[in-house]
């Protein structure tokens, strides 16, 4: 004969495990207890709404009251919600993991489960992480319900008895354990309420007095409103209050959708300039107005955590352990949707308000570029709205900069029509960029004089970003810093005599004290500059990448070439000079070129200064 039974879990063994492992963060107990009170009010109001019970007129200021008694060492949370009968306390509180929420929902399915927070039936016990004993005083809404007093040290036994309780609702009295006395501190409790309960849907009071009390929470946070009913000032105020940032945000995105999942929230673009500031962003995740955590990477794509924002998603499958979120399809959809909305907002702004977009650009560019590097989907959505300042101070996308027309870039069919051979021949266009407008002034000047243009890439991730673009668009772009391809960019069409150039190169090299640097003679478009330094793009970039990751860089002089400009009159006369003058001129020309690229070494600087003094003496004939 077979027999059926329930597997028994002994509470003596369970309780220590629950206490230790249930939540890694002890603070969370207050959220759980307050959320239960909120649930209890929601349930009561639902019953009233459905006509299951008449609203108690004397007790309808729905709220949660929190107080601390330092002498008794208790923290108390009281609600005027649905309350519990003795049977319910036994069933819902005493049987761990038997969530009353599921029961309630099953019973009142027709009203929908909207707004009820609890699901797992473990929240109440989290209070034992900080309490040595907990008492419950509760009275159900049911007609002629009696007050119930329950008490347990959370180890294995409890007592339950009838008691006097005047009002409907539940009062949880937590006797705080000695080593957790921080939870008897008013400041600590207020901070926890601000963190976890800021947007809970009923008023929460600390030390309720009955007159002039101010609730600690915002029961109707702005993000729940319809975007078209929100004013600019409201958005800014919500931002200041929620993120304690006194700088106004640049702009924001109000998320508001019902289908295929519910998602509400506001994402703010803060002013971001440095790498340090970047790490300050915070996207707070809520579920039915209950705070869950910051920057949960499964729901909010990592690069978006550079923004500040609140997201409320009642449909996230919350679990005691968040690691379950990772593989959830729904969660992935939510994450993708958020990314898409951000890209839409940015492209919309680019198309409809280019001026504002350009004004914000310096503040958002780092964020967008980082987003592209981290998320290819995001890149493909925003690649055409990434803009760069050019040498004339105009902001252009790369296509605009290169003069590529809409049709050319948008029609993949034409590429195919050209056939494979054409595709192979397609060479990327070289785009010159400036990483330091002041430091590279001489190069900029020469470029401008030669009728060339370049883009400015001077944020700290630009070296990464141009490499990323080359990797993503190998047939379209190749990037060269303005000092990296001088001979190709500035070479005069006239060229020069190879023999003569070779002789000049040799003579210059022989005269130079710096024996490391390579020398190349070239006729440049500008004649007023005797020489200019060229530093190979890829080795320099490699060094920068190493520096970014804190790896010692390569020798700076490596891959540096001194381009000697044969169009310049001083260089033109060089070969006729005697050896002493050759030395003087060659080194001085090098120092000048080197200074226009980067600082000289201390010895070089001294020599340069001495030479200048000699020049001045000669000039005045002393």
Q: Which residues of the shown chain bind ligand ADP in the complex (CB under 6 A)?
A: 32, 36-37, 40, 79, 81-82, 84, 92-93, 99-101, 118-124, 170
| 249 contact, one of Mg ion, ligand ADP, none, CB 5-8 Å limit per kind | none
Cα distances from 200 to residues 38, 63, 291, 292, 465, in angstroms, run 8, 10, 8, 12, 42
d(CA 149, CA 140): 12
| 565 contact, one of Mg ion, ligand ADP, none, CB 5-8 Å limit per kind | none
**Which of 280, 260, 261 has the alpha carbon at shortest distance from 270?**
280
**Torsion angle (degrees, nearest 10) of CA 210, 212, 213, 217:** 140
Q: Which of residues 107-126 bind Mg ion (CB under 5 A)?
A: 118, 123
Shortest distance in whole angstroms from residue 370 CB to ligand ADP: 38
HSE on the CB side for 585, CA within 13 Å? 21
d(CA 148, CA 170): 9
Q: 81 or 118, CB closer to Mg ion?
A: 118
**Which of 290, 297, 300 has the alpha carbon at shortest distance from 221?**
290
| 563 contact, one of ligand ADP, Mg ion, none, CB 5-8 Å limit per kind | none
- Judged by CB under 5 A, the stretch of 35-43, 441-449, 469-477, 558-566 that binds Mg ion is 35-43
Among 22, 31, 36, 140, which residue sits at the site for Mg ion (rule: CB under 5 A)? 36
| 78 contact, one of Mg ion, ligand ADP, none, CB 5-8 Å limit per kind | none
Shortest distance in whole angstroms from residue 118 CB to ligand ADP: 2
Shortest distance in whole angstroms from residue 203 CB to Mg ion: 19
The answer to whether 172 touches 77, Cβ cutoff 8 Å, is yes
- Burial pattern 596-610, b for ≥16 Cβ within 10 A else e, equals bbeebeeebeebbee
Token pair, residue 66, equals 């929190």
Q: 104 or 303, CB closer to ligand ADP?
A: 104
Is 83 near Mg ion (CB under 5 A)?
no
Shortest distance in whole angstroms from residue 104 CB to ligand ADP: 7
| 568 contact, one of ligand ADP, Mg ion, none, CB 5-8 Å limit per kind | none
Shortest distance in whole angstroms from residue 221 CB to Mg ion: 21
Q: Give how far the C-alpha of residue 388 lies from the chain's centroid of Cα atoms, to the nearest Å.
A: 22
Shortest distance in whole angstroms from residue 32 CB to Mg ion: 5
Is 147 near Mg ion (CB under 5 A)?
no
| 331 contact, one of Mg ion, ligand ADP, none, CB 5-8 Å limit per kind | none
Q: 81 or 543, CB closer to ligand ADP?
A: 81
| 537 contact, one of Mg ion, ligand ADP, none, CB 5-8 Å limit per kind | none
| 371 contact, one of ligand ADP, Mg ion, none, CB 5-8 Å limit per kind | none
The answer to whether 447 touches 490, Cβ cutoff 8 Å, is yes
d(CA 206, CA 372): 46
d(CA 429, CA 474): 10
CA R_g for the chain: 36
Q: 81 or 249, CB closer to ligand ADP?
A: 81
Cα distances from 137 to residues 130, 160, 163, 611, in angstroms, run 19, 10, 8, 92
The answer to whether 491 touches 526, Cβ cutoff 8 Å, is no
- Judged by CB under 5 A, the stretch of 29-37, 70-78, 221-229, 500-508 that binds Mg ion is 29-37
Token pair, residue 60, equals 């309808």
The answer to whether 315 touches 262, Cβ cutoff 8 Å, is yes
How many helices, marked H, and strands, marked E, lie in the chain?
22, 20
| 432 contact, one of ligand ADP, Mg ion, none, CB 5-8 Å limit per kind | none
Q: 154 or 249, CB closer to Mg ion?
A: 154
Token pair, residue 425, equals 């021949």
Shortest distance in whole angstroms from residue 127 CB to ligand ADP: 9
Q: 74 or 463, CB closer to ligand ADP?
A: 74
Token pair, residue 173, equals 């009295």
Shortest distance in whole angstroms from residue 36 CB to Mg ion: 4
Is 543 near Mg ion (CB under 5 A)?
no
Enumerate binding residues for Mg ion (CB under 5 A): 36, 118, 123
């Amino acid at each position: 004969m077979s027999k059926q039974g329930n597997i028994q879990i002994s509470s003596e063994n369970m309780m220590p495990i629950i206490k230790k492992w249930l939540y890694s963060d002890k603070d969370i107990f207050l959220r759980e207890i307050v959320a239960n009170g909120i649930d209890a009010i929601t349930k009561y109001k639902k019953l009233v709404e459905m006509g299951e019970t008449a609203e108690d007129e004397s007790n309808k200021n729905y709220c949660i009251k929190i107080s601390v008694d330092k002498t008794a060492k208790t923290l108390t949370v009281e609600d005027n919600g649905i309350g519990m009968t003795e049977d319910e306390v036994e069933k819902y509180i005493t049987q761990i993991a038997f969530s009353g929420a599921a029961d309630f929902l099953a019973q009142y399915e027709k009203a929908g489960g909207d707004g009820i927070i609890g699901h797992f039936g473990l929240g109440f016990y989290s209070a034992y992480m900080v309490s040595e004993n907990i008492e419950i005083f509760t009275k159900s809404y049911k007609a002629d319900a009696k007050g119930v007093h329950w008490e347990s040290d959370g180890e294995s036994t409890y007592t339950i008895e009838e008691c006097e309780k005047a009002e409907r609702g539940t009062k949880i009295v937590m006797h705080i354990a000695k080593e957790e006395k921080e939870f008897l501190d008013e400041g600590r409790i207020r901070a926890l309420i601000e963190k976890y309960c800021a947007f809970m849907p009923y008023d929460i009071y600390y030390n309720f007095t009955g007159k002039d009390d101010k609730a600690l929470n915002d029961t109707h946070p702005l993000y729940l409103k319809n975007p078209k009913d929100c004013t600019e000032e409201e958005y800014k105020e919500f931002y200041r209050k929620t993120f304690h940032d006194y700088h106004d945000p640049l702009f924001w995105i109000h998320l508001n959708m019902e289908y295929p999942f519910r998602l509400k929230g506001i994402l703010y673009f803060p002013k971001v300039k440095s790498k340090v500031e970047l790490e300050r962003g915070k996207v707070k995740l809520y579920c039915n107005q209950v705070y869950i955590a910051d920057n949960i990477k499964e729901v909010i794509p990592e690069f978006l955590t550079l923004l500040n924002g609140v997201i409320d998603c009642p449909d996230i499958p919350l679990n005691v352990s968040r690691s379950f979120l990772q593989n959830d399809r729904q969660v992935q959809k939510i994450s993708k949707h958020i990314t898409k909305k951000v890209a839409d907002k940015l492209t919309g702004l680019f198309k409809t308000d280019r001026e504002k977009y350009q004004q914000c650009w310096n503040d958002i560019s780092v964020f967008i570029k980082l987003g592209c590097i981290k998320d290819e989907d995001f890149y493909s959505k925003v690649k055409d709205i990434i803009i760069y300042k050019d040498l004339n101070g105009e902001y252009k996308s790369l296509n605009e900069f290169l003069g590529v027309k809409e049709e050319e870039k948008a029609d993949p069919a034409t590429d195919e029509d050209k056939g494979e051979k054409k595709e192979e021949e397609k060479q990327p266009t070289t785009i010159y960029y400036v990483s330091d407008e002041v430091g590279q002034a001489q190069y900029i000047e020469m470029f401008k004089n030669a009728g060339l243009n370049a883009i400015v890439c001077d944020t700290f991730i630009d070296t990464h970003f141009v490499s990323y673009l080359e990797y993503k668009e190998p047939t379209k772009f190749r990037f060269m810093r303005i000092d990296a391809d001088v001979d190709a960019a500035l070479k005069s069409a006239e060229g020069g005599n190879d023999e003569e150039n070779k002789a000049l190169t040799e003579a210059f090299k022989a005269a130079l004290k710096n024996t490391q640097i390579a020398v190349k003679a070239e006729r440049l478009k500008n004649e007023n500059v005797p020489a200019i330094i060229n530093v190979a793009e890829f080795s320099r970039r490699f060094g920068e990448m190493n520096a970014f990751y804190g790896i010692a860089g390569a020798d700076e002089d490596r891959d540096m070439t001194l381009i000697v400009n044969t169009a310049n009159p001083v260089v033109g006369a060089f070969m006729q000079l005697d050896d002493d003058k050759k030395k003087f001129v060659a080194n001085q020309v090098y120092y000048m070129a080197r200074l226009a690229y980067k600082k000289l070494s201390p010895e070089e600087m001294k020599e340069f200064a001495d030479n200048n003094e000699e020049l001045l003496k000669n000039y005045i004939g002393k």
